[in-house]
Amino acid sequence: MTVGIGICGAAGRMGRMLTRTAHARAGARVAAASERPGNPAVGRDAGELAGLEPLGVAVGDDREALFASSDVAVDFTAPDSTVANARRAAATGTGLVVGTTGLSAGDRAALAECAASAPIVFAANMSLGVNLLLGVTRRVAAALDEDFDIEIVEMHHRHKVDAPSGTALALAEAAAAGRGVDLAAVADRGRDGATGPRRRGAIGMAALRGGDVVGEHAAIFAADGERVEIGHRVTDRGVFARGAITAALWAHGRAPGLYGMEDVLGLGA
C-alpha cells in the first residue's frame, strides 16, 4: 500500500521538487496538491506543474480538501499557512511534515499544541545528512569538556536574508544540549572590534554569505594542540525534498506527537 502525500504550496520551487520526489519514491504517491486562492497554478495538474507527465491530481485552493485526500501532508510554505495547516492536521488526525523556515516561538508553540492530536514532524533542516550532523555534534559536545572551544560556522548564498541560519542555530542548540547548558547563556553570535579573550564555555557562531552556496555547516571543537571538525555541504536542494518524503513515510500511522528528524533517523537520546 502506498502512502498518499499532500503537497502544500505545490507551485513553489520546493513544492514542485516535493511532487517529483514523492512521485519517484517507492511506497509514496502524490494524492493532493494545493496553493493559495488566486495562485495561477490552481486548477493545473500537479505533475505537469512539476515537469512530469500528468498525474491526474489538480492543484486546489481548499486546505480541507487536501487533508481529506492525504495520508500525510508536507508543508514548506510560510509561517501563517503552516500554522493553519497544522490546525487542520490536528482536526483530522492527518500526519504533517513541516520544513517551513522562519517560524516564531509562537508558531512553534502552535505546532506543539496541534501535535497533541496528530503526528507532526518538524525540523529546521530536512537533510538526512544534516540531521546526522546534529546527532554527532550533540554526542561530541557531551564527550569533550570546556577545554574544547565550540564554534559553529555556516555559509549560504548571497540572497539569504537571515543569519545565523536555522541549521546553525540547531547545531548550536545540539552542542549546548550535549554540554548540558542553556544556549542563550553561552551563545556568542558576533565579534567585532576589541572583544577581549574568548569566554570559556562559549558557543560561537559565524555566518558567511556569497555566491550561490546552497548550504555549508561545520561544528568545530578546538583545544590546545588539537581540533575536531565535523561538517556537511549541500550541493543540491533535492536533499531537503528527499528528507521530507522520508519523514512523511515514517510519520504515516504514528501516534500524535511532535517529532524531529532525529526520531525519523532513530537518533533520539
The span from the CA of 180 to the CA of 157, in Å, is 33
Residues comprising the chain, all counted: 269
Residue of 23, 156, 217, 252 marked active site: 156
Residue of 23, 159, 160, 217 marked active site: 160
Active site residue 156: yes
* Phi, psi torsion values for 15, nearest 5 degrees: -60, -45
Q: List all residues 6 or more positions away from 202 whose beta carbon is below 8 Å from its beta carbon.
A: 149, 150, 186, 187, 188
Active site residue 23: no
CA 164 to chain centroid, in Å, comes to 15
- The 3-class secondary structure across 12-55, one letter per residue, is CHHHHHHHHHHHHCCCEEEEEEECCCCCCCCCCEHHHHCCCCCC
Nearest to 170 by CA among 123, 103, 206, 237: 123
Is 207 exposed, middle or buried, given 0-12, 13-18 or 19+ CB atoms closer than 10 A?
middle
Nearest to 260 by CA among 111, 93, 84: 111
Which residues are catalytic, by number? 156, 160
